[in-house]
Structure 1
Amino acid sequence: MLSLPIPSQIQRLLTDTTRLYRLQGDGSLDALLVQAWSLQEALDTPWRLQLITLSTQVGLDPHAMLGQPLQLHTRLADGSEFARGGLVTEARAESADGGFARYCLTVEPWLALLAHTTRSQVWQERSVTEIVESLFALYPLATWRWSPCVAQHLATSTNAGLRSYTVQYRESDLAFLTRLLAREGICMRVAPDGTLVLLADSVSREACEQDVVSASALGGAGVRYHASGAQEHQDAIQAFGATRTLPSASTTVLSWDYQAKRAVAAEVPTAHAWGGANAPALQDYALPGAYAHADTEQAARAALLQRQSVEARHKTWQGRSTVRSFTAGHWFQLTESDMDALDALGQSEEDKRFVLTAVTHAGLNNLPQSLAEQVVQQLGHADVGEGLPAALIAQARATGYGNTFEAIRAQVPWRPQPAPPREYPGMLTATVVGPQGETQASGAEEIHMDRLGRIRIRFDFQTLTQGPHTSSASSWVRVLQRWAGAAMGTQASGAEEIHMDRLGRIRIRFDFQTLTQGPHTSSASSWVRVLQRWAGAAMGSQFIPRIGQEVLVDFFEGDIERPMVVGALYNGQGEAGRRPTPGGQAAQDDLSPLASSGDHRPGAQGNLAGGHSPAWHGAGAGAVEAGGQANAAALSGIKTKEYGGWGYNQLVFDDSDQQLRTQLATSQYDTQLNLGHLIHQAWALSCAPGPTGPCAPARGC
Structure 2
Amino acid sequence: MPERLSPVSYELSLSDHAEATWQVTRVSITEALNEPYRAVIDARTEAEHFDTDTLLGCDAALTLARGQGQGQGRAVCGLVSRIDFLGVGDPHLMLRFHVVPAAAVLRRSVNSRIWQQIETIEIIEQVLGAGLGDYGRELDRQGIARGHTLRDYCVQYRESDFDFVSRLLEEEGISYEFIHEAKTKLERLTLRDANGQYAELESDHGGAELPIITSNPGEADVESIQEFEWSTELGSTSVLRRDFDWQTPRHLLSAHSEGTDDRGRDRRVFAHGTRRFIKDELEERAKDQRLAAALGARVARGRSNVTAMRPGLRFRVMGHYRLDLEQEYLVTHVRHSGAEVNVSTAGTAGEAYMNEFECVPFDAPIRPAAKTPKPREYGPQTAIVTGPESEDIHTDELGRIHVQFYWQEHPSYAANASCWVRCSQSWAGMGWGAQFIPRIGMEVVVEFLEGNPDRPLVTGCVYNTEHTPPFALPDHKTQSGWRSESSPGGGGSNELRFEDAAGDEEIYLHGEKDWTIEIENDRRETIGHDESFSIGHDQTGQIGNNQTLTVACNQVETIGLSRTDAIGASALETVGVAKSVIVGTVLDERIGTNRSTAIGEDHTVSVGGDATETVAGDKSVASNKLTVESADAMSVTSAKTYSLEVTDRLTIKGDEKVIVEAAEEMVFKCGDASITLKKDGKIQIKGKDVLVKGSGNVVIKGQEVAEN
TM-score, normalising length: structure 1: 0.68
CA–CA separation in structure 2 for the residues paired with 1:311 and 1:94: 44
Whose Rg is larger?
2
Is the alpha carbon distance of 1:358 and 1:620 closer, same or farther for their aligned partners in structure 2, counting shifts above 3 Å? same
1:308 and 2:277 are equivalent in the alignment:
no
1:254 and 2:242 are equivalent in the alignment:
yes
Pick aligned residue for 1:336 from 319, 322, 331: 319
Q: 1:195 — aligned with what?
A: 188
Look up the equivalent residue of 2:394 and give its one-letter code: H
1:115-172 alpha-carbon deviations (Å, 9 max, x no partner): 0011110000011121111112332225344454422x34xxxxx4111000011111
Q: 1:662 — aligned with what?
A: 507
Show the 5 A alignment for 1:312-323.
Answer: 312-323=295-306
Q: 1:476 — aligned with what?
A: none
Q: SS of the residue aligned with 2:367? A: coil
Contact 1:49 1:106 in 2 (8 A): yes
Show the 5 A alignment for 1:76-225.
Answer: 76=66, 78-79=69-70, 80-139=72-131, 140-141=134-135, 143-151=137-145, 153-154=146-147, 160-193=148-181, 194-201=187-194, 203-204=195-196, 207-213=197-203, 217=205, 222-225=209-212
1:38 and 2:28 are equivalent in the alignment:
yes
Q: SS of the residue aligned with 2:254? A: strand
Is the alpha carbon distance of 1:635 and 1:135 closer, same or farther for their aligned partners in structure 2, counting shifts above 3 Å? same
Is the alpha carbon distance of 1:101 and 1:538 closer, same or farther for their aligned partners in structure 2, counting shifts above 3 Å? closer
1:557 and 2:402 are equivalent in the alignment:
no
Contact 1:76 1:82 in 2 (8 A): no
Show the 5 A alignment for 1:521-600.
Answer: 524-572=417-465
Q: SS of the residue aligned with 2:398? A: strand
1:178-234 alpha-carbon deviations (Å, 9 max, x no partner): 111111111121223421011112x11xx2122221xx645x652111135344222
140-149 vs 230-239, which moves further:
140-149
**Cα RMSD after superposing both structures:** 3.1
Q: SS of the residue aligned with 1:257? A: coil
CA–CA separation in structure 2 for the residues paired with 1:125 and 1:650: 40
Show the 5 A alignment for 1:184-583.
Answer: 184-193=172-181, 194-201=187-194, 203-204=195-196, 207-213=197-203, 217=205, 222-227=209-214, 228-261=216-249, 262-270=251-259, 274-275=261-262, 277=263, 280-289=265-274, 294-295=279-280, 298-339=281-322, 341-342=323-324, 352-370=327-345, 399-418=351-370, 419=372, 421-434=374-387, 438=388, 441-442=389-390, 445-464=391-410, 524-572=417-465
Look up the equivalent residue of 2:198 and give its one-letter code: C
1:406-457 alpha-carbon deviations (Å, 9 max, x no partner): 00112222222224532211011111111xxx5xx42xx2111111221111
Look up the equivalent residue of 1:189 and give its one-letter code: E
TM-score, normalising length: structure 2: 0.68
1:44-71 alpha-carbon deviations (Å, 9 max, x no partner): 1110110101111233322100111111
Q: SS of the residue aligned with 1:338? A: coil
Is the alpha carbon distance of 1:315 and 1:44 closer, same or farther for their aligned partners in structure 2, counting shifts above 3 Å? same
Q: 2:469 — aligned with what?
A: 614
1:524-575 alpha-carbon deviations (Å, 9 max, x no partner): 1111111111111232110011112111001111111000110111112xxx
Contact 1:669 1:689 in 2 (8 A): no
Look up the equivalent residue of 1:408 and give its one-letter code: V
Look up the equivalent residue of 2:11 and give its one-letter code: R
Is the alpha carbon distance of 1:143 and 1:653 closer, same or farther for their aligned partners in structure 2, counting shifts above 3 Å? same
Structure 1 residue 293: Cα displacement: 7.8
CA–CA separation in structure 1 for the residues paired with 2:54 and 2:242: 54
Q: 2:654 — aligned with what?
A: none
CA–CA separation in structure 2 for the residues paired with 1:462 and 1:58: 47
Pick aligned residue for 1:23 from 12, 35, 38: 12
Q: 1:590 — aligned with what?
A: none
CA–CA separation in structure 2 for the residues paired with 1:323 and 1:23: 20
Greater helix percent: which structure?
1
Look up the equivalent residue of 2:486 and give its one-letter code: E
Look up the equivalent residue of 1:71 and give its one-letter code: A
Contact 1:289 1:556 in 2 (8 A): no
Look up the equivalent residue of 1:176 and give its one-letter code: F
**Aligned sequence identity (%):** 28
Show the 5 A alignment for 1:7-18.
Answer: none
Contact 1:251 1:285 in 2 (8 A): yes
Is the alpha carbon distance of 1:567 and 1:408 closer, same or farther for their aligned partners in structure 2, counting shifts above 3 Å? same
Q: 2:521 — aligned with what?
A: none
Structure 1 residue 305: Cα displacement: 0.8
Contact 1:147 1:200 in 2 (8 A): no
Greater strand percent: which structure?
1
CA–CA separation in structure 2 for the residues paired with 1:472 and 1:189: 40
Contact 2:198 2:314 in 1 (8 A): yes
CA–CA separation in structure 2 for the residues paired with 1:453 and 1:426: 23
Is the alpha carbon distance of 1:366 and 1:74 closer, same or farther for their aligned partners in structure 2, counting shifts above 3 Å? farther
Q: SS of the residue aligned with 2:17? A: helix
CA–CA separation in structure 1 for the residues paired with 2:307 and 2:102: 23
Contact 1:463 1:472 in 2 (8 A): no
Higher relative contact order (CA 8 A, sep 6+): 1
Segments of structure 1 that go 5 or more residues without pairing to the other structure are: 1-16, 155-159, 374-396, 466-470, 474-506, 508-522, 573-610, 622-631, 672-681
CA–CA separation in structure 1 for the residues paired with 2:419 and 2:515: 40
CA–CA separation in structure 2 for the residues paired with 1:304 and 1:128: 19
